[in-house]
Structure 1
Amino acid sequence: MLSSLIRRLLPALIFAAALCCLPGRLAADLVWSRATGWRVEGGVMSGISGSEGRKAVETMNKARLAEERHSEGSAISSYEKVVKKYPNSVYAPEALYRIGKLRLIRRQYYDAFDAFQRLIGRYPNTKRFNEIIGIQYRIASDLLDGKRPYIWGVFPGPTGRSTAVGYFEVVLADAPYSDYAPLCLMNIARGHQLRKETDEAIDALDRLINAYPQSLLTADAYFKLAQSHASLVDGPYYDQASTKEAVTYYEDFMILFPNDVNLSKAAKGLDDMKKMLAESKVKMADFYFYKRDNYVAAKVFYNEAITAYPDSDVAKHAKVMLTQVEAKAAGQPAPASPAAPAPKKKKHFLFF
């Protein structure tokens, strides 16, 4: 019984092995001409045959002729029928591709993106994969830049910047190793910044520098990370976690990219953040010195201010205050603070 089963299966096994050894591509290509309509070329199978195959071709021809008459709505309807009725045929991916292109003509950006996403989701081995990723990226970019999608292809709708951010995430997930991936993360950050979502922008920039350290965008990402953290700083009286992060990213940027065009801006940003950090230490020290008479704590924070930015005016002030703290702690009169320079006398002229 076993031997008879093997004999029955042997031809099929031989055929399968022969197919695996074929050097050419088995998937069929679709070619359109107005004279012959759609025809299958370059493959051994189209996915359907007989009456079903004829119906599929007729529907595809009907859709393409409507497309050439600029009747986009009718063409989309016919292509959708092909996708629904013949999903396993060679016609379905072509139909989805043409739906996406027609939706773009009608400026129905959401529906176009969806059609292209259905295509690469159902047929990930499509030869148009890279082209579609590029089209989806451009749709997301247009939406982020404020292009309005049209409702029914007729009326302009509201802008879709929040949708654009989601589309960039989709492109990134579908093609994480493409040239579009770091561009997507940079645009995700830009989209969040436009919506004042700084924490989300920081997350996107952080993903960029960690996942794509060799990208040409990495330098900009470091600089924008520093700026984003700096924008969260509320002043010397508040928590300085963001200040410390900004200092770290400004320093990293200046070390890693010493020839970047933003180097002078980074140096100015670093100066501001170090000054802010030192000022926050002075405020803490002042509190313990003036309000709590805690000279030990005051001394610690004045020293931290000096360490935070040794060559700054804030550090000079902290050193003066340290002498007063030490005098108070020893029970001696505090030395007088250095007098401020007297204002220059106003010059008076004979007729004024």
Structure 2
Amino acid sequence: MQNAVALSLATITAICVGFTSCSNPNEKIQLASGQVGRANPELTAQLYSQARAYENQGNIKKAIKTYGNLAGDYPMANEAADARIREAELLYSQGELMQAFEKYQYFITQYRGTSQYDKAIVRQAEVAHAASTGQITNSFIGLKSDIPRTKVEKMFIQVRDNAPFGPTAPRAQFGLGEMWERDKNTAKAIKAYEDLYVKYPKSKYAPEALYRVGNLLLNQTEKGNRNRGNLDTANTTFTDLTLLYPNTKQAKSAKQKLKQIAQADVQRSFSIAEFYENKKQYPSAAFYYNEVIRNTKSGSQLHNQAKQRLAAISQ
């Protein structure tokens, strides 16, 4: 048994020595800790110079490939961060936005705190917003193609979560809501806007997000979905907006919407009163006519009509 163990250990040692002796010292070595060994500085400097030369010559495809190879094969090299951002920037300049998004993500993940980090964050956000509006290409052919909405959603979430305390985060969340609103996916749009003003209440996008939630709910009631809950929630949302952001243009618009909801409520009460009157259920009709009278100005048309009908059924 001891001989077998000794033989196994010897075999493992021989294999490890064999791998070490056969490896190229210029190539990266994956360590047990998961770290990547630093490459030969002369080699990486040469690769970076070659990529720059291709770029200066206008051979953008080769420049992109060489930068990518350097950053991918030698991520700990002194030139790796610059190579990765140059690769992403060239893809961006060529309109290869989906590929650029991916490369910016590599940079953001691997090179936090570097001088180009903020640029990568902003650029990646621009790509996500372009994808949501369809202004994007998928290949060097230069043809536009529709990006699946689930893919764009993941892009926005990635942008948001890469810098959750930066200005790109609330803008990405708002872009997500706008995308679903354009697609007439009301439920997802409302959820995205709600998440924005909950997570980023001090953002400049928060008042608009709150207003859009109320407006989407109100539109649903106007387009045939007479769910009373939607109308009540819209009323609460607009009220919250006037209280939380009183000096914004959205608050001013919300006050008009609240008047609209109040008028709709009065009209609804009058219609219910007429329904009960036609059914000869006069006590119920009287209750709703009184609601109309109580919630309208004296002398207004609906106020006068409700008083006349109430007098008629009370005889």
Instruction: Give the TM-score range, shorter chain.
Output: 0.7 to 0.9
Cα distance change of structure 1 residues 303 and 58 upon mapping to structure 2, 3 Å threshold:
farther
Q: Which residue of 2 aligns with 1:192?
A: 180
**Runs of 5+ in structure 1 lacking a partner?**
1-45, 328-332, 334-352
Distance apart, 1:135 and its partner CA: 1.0
Hey, what's the Cα distance between the residues in 2 that align with 1:239 and 1:115?
46
Contact 1:229 1:245 in 2 (8 A): yes
Distance apart, 1:261 and its partner CA: 3.5
Cα distance change of structure 1 residues 320 and 96 upon mapping to structure 2, 3 Å threshold:
farther
Contact 1:63 1:78 in 2 (8 A): yes
The alignment yields a C-alpha RMSD, in angstroms, of 3.1
Cα distance change of structure 1 residues 218 and 315 upon mapping to structure 2, 3 Å threshold:
farther
Hey, what's the Cα distance between the residues in 2 that align with 1:128 and 1:210?
31
Q: Which residue of 2 aligns with 1:156?
A: 143
Q: Which residue of 2 aligns with 1:22?
A: none
* Amino acid in structure 2 at the alignment position of 1:48: R
Cα distance change of structure 1 residues 243 and 128 upon mapping to structure 2, 3 Å threshold:
same
Bigger proportion of residues as helix: 2
- Give the alignment of 1:10-49 within 5 angstroms: 48-49=38-39
Cα distance change of structure 1 residues 237 and 178 upon mapping to structure 2, 3 Å threshold:
closer
Contact 2:128 2:155 in 1 (8 A): yes
Cα distance change of structure 1 residues 140 and 237 upon mapping to structure 2, 3 Å threshold:
closer
Cα distance change of structure 1 residues 150 and 70 upon mapping to structure 2, 3 Å threshold:
farther
Cα distance change of structure 1 residues 195 and 294 upon mapping to structure 2, 3 Å threshold:
same
Hey, what's the Cα distance between the residues in 2 that align with 1:145 and 1:237?
28
Aligned with 1:232: secondary structure? helix
Hey, what's the Cα distance between the residues in 2 that align with 1:100 and 1:147?
18
Distance apart, 1:175 and its partner CA: 0.9
Distance apart, 1:243 and its partner CA: 1.8
Hey, what's the Cα distance between the residues in 2 that align with 1:278 and 1:206?
29
Task: Give the fraction of aligned pairs with identical amino acids, expressed as a percent.
Answer: 22
Q: Which residue of 1 aligns with 2:22?
A: none
Distance apart, 1:256 and its partner CA: 3.9
Instruction: Choose the corresponding residue for 1:183, options 153, 156, 171.
Output: 171
Number of residue pairs the alignment of both structures matches: 277
Please report the TM-score for the alignment, with normalisation by the length of structure 1: 0.67
Q: Which residue of 2 aligns with 1:170?
A: 158
* Amino acid in structure 1 at the alignment position of 2:38: I
Cα distance change of structure 1 residues 62 and 289 upon mapping to structure 2, 3 Å threshold:
same
Contact 1:250 1:269 in 2 (8 A): yes
* Amino acid in structure 2 at the alignment position of 1:228: L
**Runs of 5+ in structure 2 lacking a partner?**
1-35
Kindly name which structure, 1 or 2, has the bigger radius of gyration based on alpha carbons. Answer: 1
- Give the alignment of 1:105-120 within 5 angstroms: 105-120=93-108
Hey, what's the Cα distance between the residues in 1 that align with 2:158 and 2:230?
30
Distance apart, 1:318 and its partner CA: 4.4
Distance apart, 1:172 and its partner CA: 0.8
Q: Which residue of 1 aligns with 2:121?
A: 133
Q: Which residue of 2 aligns with 1:55?
A: 43
Contact 1:222 1:250 in 2 (8 A): yes
Distance apart, 1:159 and its partner CA: 4.8
Contact 1:143 1:161 in 2 (8 A): no
